[in-house]
Amino acid sequence: MFELKPIARETIPRAMKKAEHYRLLNEPAEAESICLDVLELEPDNQEALRCLLLALTDQFGTAGHGQLVDQAKQLLSRFSDYEQKYYAGIIAERFAGYQLHVGHPGARMSAYAHLCDAMEYYAEADALAPEGNDDAILRHNTCVRMIRWNHLVAPRHDEREQPLE
């Protein structure tokens, strides 16, 4: 069986630059792999944790996206209170975008619900944000625009899926 090789601690900054580069090239699996290598050496490396979470959410829409959502959510506890809320919003927002892209029956209602969840997380993050950091507000505004651009509305009570008896 093949074995993973560890990277040298002094190469972490270069590795993280590569991870970000792969994310920008829309190659999130490569970025994920690099982040996992960094986290083997430095389990609390915040840059690697953030990049890993974003690389996982970049892969929503691939096979096993449910597992990716769970993996991304599991990372949240390793962040500060502010970042837990902020990145929980990112997960919900990106999953909503995936729902809109797929367009299956019920996707618009699901996207709306996830965008509302994201905006709640962003409101909580904004209350914890350091002075001069409007990132949560920017993300909130993006969610509002996604709702407007896609003409999403809250489901009427009779449109919600009824429980099985």
* CB neighbours of residue 50 within 10 Å: 19
pLDDT of residue 76: 98
50 & 67 share domain: yes
**Domain boundary at 77, 106, 138, which?**
77
57 & 116 share domain: no
- 60 three-state secondary structure: strand
- Dihedral angle of Cα 47, 50, 53, 58, to the nearest 10 degrees: -90
pLDDT of residue 155: 81
pLDDT of residue 65: 72
pLDDT of residue 159: 54
Q: Which domain holds residue 32?
A: 1-77
The gap from C-alpha 13 to its chain's centroid, in whole angstroms, comes to 23
pLDDT of residue 48: 98
50 & 6 share domain: yes
d(CA 65, CA 71): 10
d(CA 93, CA 95): 5
How many structural domains is the chain composed of? 2
117 & 51 share domain: no
Residue 145, in any domain of the structure: yes
Q: What is the pLDDT along the chain (165 residues), one digit of tens a residue?
A: 999 999 999 999 999 999 999 999 999 999 999 999 999 999 999 999 999 999 999 999 876 678 999 999 999 999 999 999 999 999 999 999 999 998 889 999 999 999 999 999 999 999 999 999 999 999 999 999 999 999 999 987 655 555 665
pTM above 0.85, yes or no: yes
Residue 141, in any domain of the structure: yes
**Domain boundary at 55, 77, 99, which?**
77
53 & 72 share domain: yes
3-state helix, strand, coil in the chain (%, to 5): 70, 0, 25
117 & 130 share domain: yes
pLDDT of residue 7: 98
Residue appearing with tokens 């914890």: 128
The gap from C-alpha 17 to its chain's centroid, in whole angstroms, comes to 19
d(CA 134, CA 86): 11
pLDDT of residue 164: 62
Task: State the first-to-last Cα distance of the chain, in angstroms, to the nearest integer.
Answer: 49
